[in-house]
Each structure stands twice: as structure tokens, then as C-alpha cells.
Amino acid sequence: MSVSSLARWRNHALAVVLLACLALPQAVRAAASLAPFSATYRLHVDGWPDVTLHHRLTHDGGQWQSAMRASIAVAEGHELSRFRLAGDHLDALFYTSGYRLFGLGDDYRLSGRELDDLPDRQTALIVLARRAPAASCVGADSEPCTLRYLDHRGDTVTLDYRVTERGDTLASGHRFPSVRVDTWRPDKPDRHLLLRFTPELPGLLLGAEYRREGKVVSTLELISLDRDPAAHHSR
């Protein structure tokens, strides 16, 4: 595989790994309460070995922290954000990320000042998970909702989304109430990221699919869940 092909894979696969496709404005009311968790996912990208993705939401004092990391033999990526829960709002405070391919890559960071108007994508993922159970844009015939967030470089990204399904989902041996959200960028309508959330643990992914031109090119599966990561870490 050529260097240019590997670079294209990095831009696609790591973006999928770290769910770089979702956000909401900060000043939106959210319903579901936050709770810490530590989860492990299995990511399958067509044509590549499966990737293990670690996702952790923790609480320390007045701040929450969401972190994701993943790696395979030639590539790795991580993201971390800190935010504050102020009533029903999430205020993004800090974001950092890094991506490597064959040891080469870049690191990025956003300060609270840069996140005054829009959240980073880790914070936005949790905002969306809290909003989805009561979203009004439900079904294929509904007008989509519009979402905005800052990507790792601080550029504003706009997406559309709809809630496509509500019900129960079996994941990692447990049954959860769930909601599935279909997201896409208006300028790339043939690419869809479908995420399945549970209101029990906002931010946890019960599963995900990335589709391009109607074909599933990557999937995400929840394989383990710890609802009390602080206690587990202290043992």
C-alpha cells in the first residue's frame, strides 16, 4: 500500500475510531443525567485488522472528563476533553488529541476560550447522547436537526441528523433502552454514521455503523462495560 493510501486510511479510520462526526451547540438543554463508565469497543474497518477502542467517562470534583484511545500496529489515536455540567448545560473546558501513522502524526488542543461557542467533539458526543431520547427529528420523513461542533483543528463542522429508532438493544450481554441516531454532513450526503445510545449512560455507544454510498464500511461493537470505573481503578 502506498504512503498516500495509508494517509487516506488514517484520515478515514481514525476519524471513525474517535467518532469525529457529531456535535451540538453548548446552549441546548439536555435531559439525561451523567454517570461514569469505562467501556471497550471492537472496531471493524473493511480491509483492516479489528481495532480495540477504550472509552472512559469520569468525574473529578466539578469537572467531567471523556477520553478515547485506540491503536493497531501502524496507527494510533487518542482524544480527551474536559467539561463542566452547569444545570442542564455542558460547558466544554479543554480538548486535546493526537494521531500517529508509522510514528508520524500531529497533536492538537483547544482551550476553553476557543470552546466558548461550540463544544469539541468528545463533549458534543455526550450532549447528543443526552438529547437524542427526546429529539423531535424522528423518522426518515422528518426534517433533520442541524448540529455543529469544532473538529480537532478548531474548524466548525455542520451535520444533519435524525433519530431513526427507539427500543431495546442487547449489547455486551445486557439489555438497554436505546435510541439510534443517523448523522451525515450536508455536503457529503452519501456518508452516514449511525450511533446507538442509551439514556442510562449518556455517551456510551451500544454500537455504530459507518456507511458510504449505502455500503457498511466499518462497525463498532460494545464488548465490555464497567459502570463504576473509579472503584475498579482503586483495587
Please count the other Cβ atoms lying within 10 Å of the Cβ belonging to residue 7: 12
**Has residue 47 got a pLDDT over 60?**
yes
| pLDDT of 131 | 85
Residues pairing with 163 in the sheet: 138, 181
Contact 107, 133 (CB under 8 A): no
Looking from the CA of 35 toward its CB, the CA atoms found within 13 Å total: 14
Q: Which three cell numbers stand for residue 215?
A: 455500503
Contact 96, 79 (CB under 8 A): yes
**Has residue 29 got a pLDDT over 80?**
no
22 — pLDDT class (breaks 50, 70, 90):
very low
230 — pLDDT class (breaks 50, 70, 90):
low
pLDDT digits (tens, 9 = 90+) for 75-116: 889 999 999 988 778 999 999 999 888 778 899 999 999 999
pLDDT digits (tens, 9 = 90+) for 130-184: 888 888 899 888 999 887 899 999 999 888 899 999 999 999 888 999 999 999 9
Q: What are phi and psi of 214, to 5 degrees?
A: 85, -5
Residue whose entry in the numeric block shows the C-alpha cell 477504550 = 54
Distance of CA 144 to the CA centre of its chain: 19
> DSSP of 51-82, one letter per residue?
EEEEEEEEEETTEEEEEEEEE-SSEEEEEEEE
**What is the rounded end-to-end Cα distance, in angstroms, of the chain?**
44
Amino acid, single-letter form, for residue 18: L
> DSSP of 6-40, one letter per residue?
HHHHHHHHHHHHTTTT----SS----SPP--EEEE
Residue whose entry in the numeric block shows the C-alpha cell 454532513 = 185
Contact 41, 16 (CB under 8 A): no
The mean pLDDT value for 212-233 works out to: 86
pTM of the entire predicted model:
0.82
| pLDDT of 33 | 82
14 — pLDDT class (breaks 50, 70, 90):
very low
